[in-house]
Amino acid sequence: MYTLKEDGSQYIVNESYFYKTEPYYTIVKNENLGIKTTPSSSDVLDAYIVPICLERAKLARIPVCDWTISYQYVSLPAIVYGLNYFSTPSEHFLVADLEEAKKAIKHVTNRGRYPFCYQKINDSASVAKCVSIFGKTINCCEKARSLAEKVYDVFRLPLVEIVLVKDDSGCRLSSLAPVKYSQLSKDETEMLQDLLDKRVKGFE
Amino acid sequence: MSKLGIFVNRQTLSSSEQLLAVVKCRDVAERMGHTVDFIFPVDIKKIPKLDALFIRANTDPMNATYVAARMAEMYNVPVIDDPASIRICADKINMYMHLMKNNVAMPKTRFLKNKELDEAEARQLFADLGEPLILKEPSTSFSARVEKVSTPEELLKVARRFFKLSDWIVVQEYIESRFDWRVGVINGRLLYACRYIIPSETFKIQASVNGHIVYCDVESVPADQVPPEVIELGKDAGNAMGRGLYGVDIKESNGKLYVIEVNDNPSLEGGEDAHYPDMFGKIISYLMTGDATGYSEELSEKAAGPQGFEGEYGLGAATAFASAPEIAESESYSYKIDFSEH
């Protein structure tokens, strides 16, 4: 975990900001001490909980996938996400037929115990991912680059994976997920390192 | 006429006490001139069209109740519990930090980080906080994952288990008492007060003893019989969290009062309101007008019949409820996932 100080705010840079993890509690502690911290505890929860993420992005005029919460019913094809204590936006399932949907939904709902979130997509849609480092991307198309900048303005996550759905109508946000340092490309690692070298305050 | 949404889920409906309480709440709201919709997780997109939302399901930032609360907040719909209250109260680390920040009397408390856990640290905690100690996993509710430990070895064992669920946990001095005060607070004002009588077999309000769940008894106490300092401490603790609805647990030991915890979404179905017939009216009034004191006593008396509240909260109402999510889903979508085993 890296801690940067800039513009009177403390930036917490980490692979993930999951609820009840060390980075999350570092943010909560700072907030209780009155230290302005980026991202905020509210922002990280908003970002990682798919329906909240999409609704907040929609209000900020970011194009998003339409989402639905369900216990059993699903329109196909769809992207399926869990919505419970153990789910993560890193784990999503692209389902095209009923058998695939059944398997994925059983998994993410713990056999129907919890609700799930799905996004109906077009038959021609594909899922793409790009990494945002302080809102900047490398080797992404113009639409994804613009979307990453808007996502950073709203959620302020220094490091995040943006999951996108691309189809004939364009490029829409599906979710925001944690990034593993090991998943970063060489160029992305260099960009992150460069930003950190310039501004790092401490390394824990 | 305003539209109130009451957010419920399967767990709410599986308890007859909770079911009766939400139906009682609906009856009061309707007598106050509002219409009421029960909102299930599948109905979350209806929230922006409501005038207010009252969440009656176990809250946590990681479940659908938080989605409901944030939806309401994003669309400026007044909501109990508001998202900030859920973030603070559903997480014991955040909740105790708020009490500390506001100098509210509480047991001596430390936050133990996963990376700090070793035998020396365990011994130091006993030296600082005394023996025995209470360990809490931050997401505990209904006393689950709250354990008493008497030796550093026990502490290490329990802490390792809790660290599988959270990177930080709570270590607290043990305060012994036969009962907890529960002070219900809304918008910084007293809503109700009662005592939770701790079962003799345990130190918690709910515990599994020899495979059987034992529950505390609830004893509603009229406001004029509650020590004023208990009410004041309850209000201080509520104000440290926010302006919503909270249930503050207070223990008394050796003449001193300690806030044990502050709950958002406090239980309202255990008879807490026996001496406070206006309880639901005040909650609804606060949601609809921002003023809990605006609710009329007269209206409350009209709502109450000889055996409690009038209105249909019997079996018929329960049946109507239980089918609601299925109806909502089947109207719109074509593929149903069957979870049964063949």
b/e string for A53-83 if b means 16 or more Cβ within 10 A? bbbbbbeeebbbbebbbbbbbbbbbbbbbbb
* Percentage of the residues of chain A whose pLDDT score is greater than 70: 97
Same-domain status, A128 and A192: yes
pTM of the predicted model as reported, rounded to 2 decimal places: 0.89
Asked if the model's pLDDT at residue A44 lies above 60, the reply is yes
Q: Is residue B235 part of a domain?
A: no
Residue B334 vs residue A28, higher pLDDT: A28
Q: Kindly report the average pLDDT of chain B as a whole number.
A: 86
Per-residue pLDDT, A176: 98
- pLDDT, average across residues B105-134: 96
Distance CA B135, CA B54 (A): 32
Asked if the model's pLDDT at residue A74 lies above 50, the reply is yes
Would you call B27 helix, strand, or coil by DSSP?
Answer: helix
Asked if the model's pLDDT at residue A164 lies above 80, the reply is yes
Residue A149 tokens read as 């900048």
Cross-chain residue pair B74–A55, CB shorter than 8 Å: yes
Residue A140 pLDDT grade (very low, low, confident, very high; cuts 50, 70, 90): confident
Q: Is residue A85 part of a domain?
A: yes
Residue B202 pLDDT grade (very low, low, confident, very high; cuts 50, 70, 90): low
Q: In whole angstroms, how far apart are CA B235 and each of A7, B129, B228, B247?
A: 37, 26, 11, 10
Min mean pLDDT across A122-131, B16-25, B53-62, B199-208 is at: B199-208
Substitution target in B12, B60, B67 with the highest count of A β-carbons within 10 Å is B67
Same-domain status, B79 and B7: yes
Q: What is the CATH number of the domain that holds B118?
A: 3.30.1490.20
- pLDDT, average across residues B181-207: 84
Q: Is residue A56 part of a domain?
A: yes
Q: Final residue of a domain: which of B148, B173, B198? A: B173
| pLDDT tens track for B7-49 | 999 888 888 999 999 999 999 999 999 999 999 999 999 999 9
Residues 6+ apart with CB under 8 A from A7: none
Residue A117 and residue B44 in contact, taking contact as beta carbons nearer than 8 Å: no
Helix boundaries (H) for chain B: 10-14, 16-31, 64-74, 83-89, 92-101, 119-129, 152-162, 228-241, 279-289, 297-303, 315-322, 324-332
Q: Which of residues 28-67 of A touch B (CB under 8 A)?
A: 28-29, 32, 41-42, 45-46, 49, 51-52, 55-56, 59
Pairing between β-strand A116-120 and β-strand A126-133 as defined by DSSP bridges: unpaired
Per-residue pLDDT, B209: 62
Residue B101 pLDDT grade (very low, low, confident, very high; cuts 50, 70, 90): very high
Q: Final residue of a domain: which of A88, A104, A120? A: A120
Per-residue pLDDT, B324: 43
Residue A20 and residue A37 in contact, taking contact as beta carbons nearer than 8 Å: no
Q: Final residue of a domain: which of B136, B153, B173? A: B173
Number of domains in chain B: 2
Per-residue pLDDT, B293: 75
Q: Is residue B250 part of a domain?
A: no
Q: Is residue A18 part of a domain?
A: yes
Q: Is residue B159 part of a domain?
A: yes
Per-residue pLDDT, A195: 82
Cross-chain residue pair B87–A42, CB shorter than 8 Å: yes
Domain of A111, in residue numbers: 68-120
Domain of B312, in residue numbers: 3-89+285-329
Min mean pLDDT across A79-93, B207-221, B308-322 is at: B308-322
Residues 6+ apart with CB under 8 A from A144: A128, A130, A137, A162, A164, A171
Same-domain status, A49 and A110: no
Same-domain status, A74 and A156: no
Q: Is residue B188 part of a domain?
A: no
Task: For residue A67, give the nearest of A101, A59, A75 by alpha carbon.
Answer: A75
| pLDDT tens track for B168-179 | 999 999 998 888
Residue B21 and residue B274 in contact, taking contact as beta carbons nearer than 8 Å: no
Same-domain status, A191 and A128: yes
Same-domain status, B78 and B141: no
Distance CA B213, CA A111 (A): 25
Residue A110 Cα, gap to closest chain B Cα (Å): 10
Q: Which of residues 103-142 of A touch B (CB under 8 A)?
A: 105-106, 109, 111-112, 114-115
Pairing between β-strand B308-309 and β-strand B304-305 as defined by DSSP bridges: antiparallel
Cross-chain residue pair A42–B60, CB shorter than 8 Å: no
* Percentage of the residues of chain A whose pLDDT score is greater than 90: 79
Q: Is residue B262 part of a domain?
A: no
Chain A residue at shortest CA distance from B94: A28
**Beta carbons within 10 angstroms of residue A182's beta carbon:** 7
Same-domain status, B33 and B74: yes
Q: How far apart are the first and last CA of chain B?
A: 49
Cross-chain residue pair B64–A98, CB shorter than 8 Å: no
Q: Is residue A204 part of a domain?
A: no
Q: Kindly report the average pLDDT of chain A as a whole number.
A: 92
Q: Is residue A151 part of a domain?
A: yes
Residues 6+ apart with CB under 8 A from B93: A20, A25, A28, B111, B138, B166, B168, B170
ipTM above 0.85, yes or no: yes
Residue A88 and residue A82 in contact, taking contact as beta carbons nearer than 8 Å: yes
| SS3 labels along B237-285 | HHHHHCCCEEEEEEEEECCEEEEEEEEECCCCCCCCCCCCCCHHHHHHH
- pLDDT, average across residues B173-198: 93
Q: Is residue A110 part of a domain?
A: yes
Per-residue pLDDT, B304: 38
* The B3-7 sheet, strands edge to edge: B35-39, B3-7, B52-55, B79-80
* Percentage of the residues of chain B whose pLDDT score is greater than 70: 80
- pLDDT, average across residues B121-132: 97
Same-domain status, A145 and A108: no
Write the DSSP symbol of residue B199: P
Q: Is residue A203 part of a domain?
A: no
Number of domains in chain A: 2
Q: Is residue B268 part of a domain?
A: no
Determine the distance from the C-alpha atom of residue A170 to the mean position of all C-alpha atoms in its chain, rounded to a whole number. Answer: 19
Cross-chain residue pair A106–B337, CB shorter than 8 Å: yes
Same-domain status, A59 and A128: yes
Distance CA A49, CA A54 (A): 9
Inter-chain contacts counted by CB atoms under 8 A, chains A and B? 123
- pLDDT, average across residues B46-61: 97
Q: In whole angstroms, how far apart are CA A151 and each of A192, A203, B311?
A: 18, 26, 49
* The A37-38 sheet, strands edge to edge: A37-38, A9-13, A2-6, A200-203
Q: Is residue B230 part of a domain?
A: no
Q: Is residue A30 part of a domain?
A: yes
Same-domain status, A165 and A186: yes
| pLDDT tens track for B234-262 | 999 999 999 999 999 999 999 999 999 99
| pLDDT tens track for B281-290 | 999 999 999 8
Same-domain status, B8 and B66: yes
Per-residue pLDDT, B325: 44
Cross-chain residue pair A72–B166, CB shorter than 8 Å: no
* Percentage of the residues of chain B whose pLDDT score is greater than 90: 70
Same-domain status, A108 and A134: no
Q: How far apart are the first and last CA of chain A?
A: 6
Asked if the model's pLDDT at residue B316 lies above 50, the reply is no
Distance CA A71, CA A105 (A): 9
B58 touches chain A (CB under 8 A): no
Q: What is the CATH number of the domain that holds A146?
A: 3.30.470
Q: Which residues pair with B198 in a beta bridge?
A: none
Residue A187 and residue A139 in contact, taking contact as beta carbons nearer than 8 Å: yes
| pLDDT tens track for A165-185 | 999 888 999 999 999 999 999
Same-domain status, A57 and A9: yes
Residue in A28, A45, A75 nearest the CB of B334: A75
Q: Final residue of a domain: which of B146, B173, B200? A: B173
Residue B54 and residue B29 in contact, taking contact as beta carbons nearer than 8 Å: no
Q: What is the CATH number of the domain that holds B317?
A: 3.40.50
Distance CA B167, CA B156 (A): 14
Residue A197 pLDDT grade (very low, low, confident, very high; cuts 50, 70, 90): confident
Q: Is residue B154 part of a domain?
A: yes
Distance CA B67, CA A1 (A): 28
Chain B residue at shortest CA distance from A106: B339
Q: Which residues of B touch A115 (CB under 8 A)?
A: 41-42, 64
Per-residue pLDDT, A8: 78
